[in-house]
Amino acid sequence: MSVKIRLTRHGKKGYPFYHIVVADSRAPRDGRYIERLGVYNPNTNPATVEFDFDKALDWLQKGAQPTDTTRTLLSKSGVLMKKHLLEGAKKGAFTLEVAEEKFQAWLKNKENLLLAAKEQDNKSKEAAKKERLEAEAKVKEAKAAAIAQKLAEKAAAAKPAEEAGESTEAPAAE
């Protein structure tokens, strides 16, 4: 029996939600499965992936083959890296302690990269927000200048009319 680690689709139309399962490769996509490992929700930003790390590692060591999407999810979470290091330790390339140290170093490096990416994203969002505010301020200033110019033109037009009206009234008053 060929075993696969794959996704089963749930959720409503246009809003998918997936379960990460271990299933016989001959079973239908949303059909019978052997064990449910976790969930994957691509609708959130960033996508939410929650699964049992140890169960996934155990099934990979037993020979279960992940599909392309689940391989990506498992790789990003470090399951495939851990499997690779444990196989190296079994072959005698290094000890289990060294494998665990390498895995922890990989996790720290990955965490630092994620934090740097989030920080960069926040900086770019702040810069974009600042640019939008500056553009809005320029537009506001331009509108205020246009309004002031119209008011000045109206005042200038009204002033000669007032002067002409005063000069005509002044001789009449005399």
The reported pLDDT for the residue numbered 83 is: 95
Burial (Cβ within 10 Å: 0-12, 13-18, ≥19) of residue 89: middle
Q: What is the largest CA-CA distance in the chain?
A: 120
Report residue 123's pLDDT band, with 50, 70 and 90 as the boundaries. Answer: very high
Mean pLDDT of the chain: 90
pLDDT in tens, 35-80: 999 999 999 988 999 999 999 999 999 999 999 999 999 999 999 9
Domain ranges of the chain: 1-63+71-77, 94-174
Are 80 and 74 in contact by the 8 Å Cβ rule? The answer is yes
For the stretch 77-92, pLDDT in tens is 999 999 999 999 999 8
B/e letters for 17-35, b = 16+ CB within 10 Å, e = fewer, are: bbbbbbbeeeeeeeeebbb
Q: Which pairing describes strands 35-41 and 48-51: parallel, antiparallel, or unpaired?
A: antiparallel
Residue 16 has pLDDT above 80, yes or no: yes
Amino acid 171: pLDDT = 53
Give the containing element (helix H, strand E) for 66: strand 65-66
- CA dist 99 and 120 (Å) reads 31
Q: Taking the model in full, what pTM does it have?
A: 0.70
**Residue 37 in contact with residue 23, Cβ under 8 Å?**
no
- The CATH class of 1-63+71-77 is alpha beta
pLDDT in tens, 88-116: 999 988 899 999 999 999 999 999 998 99
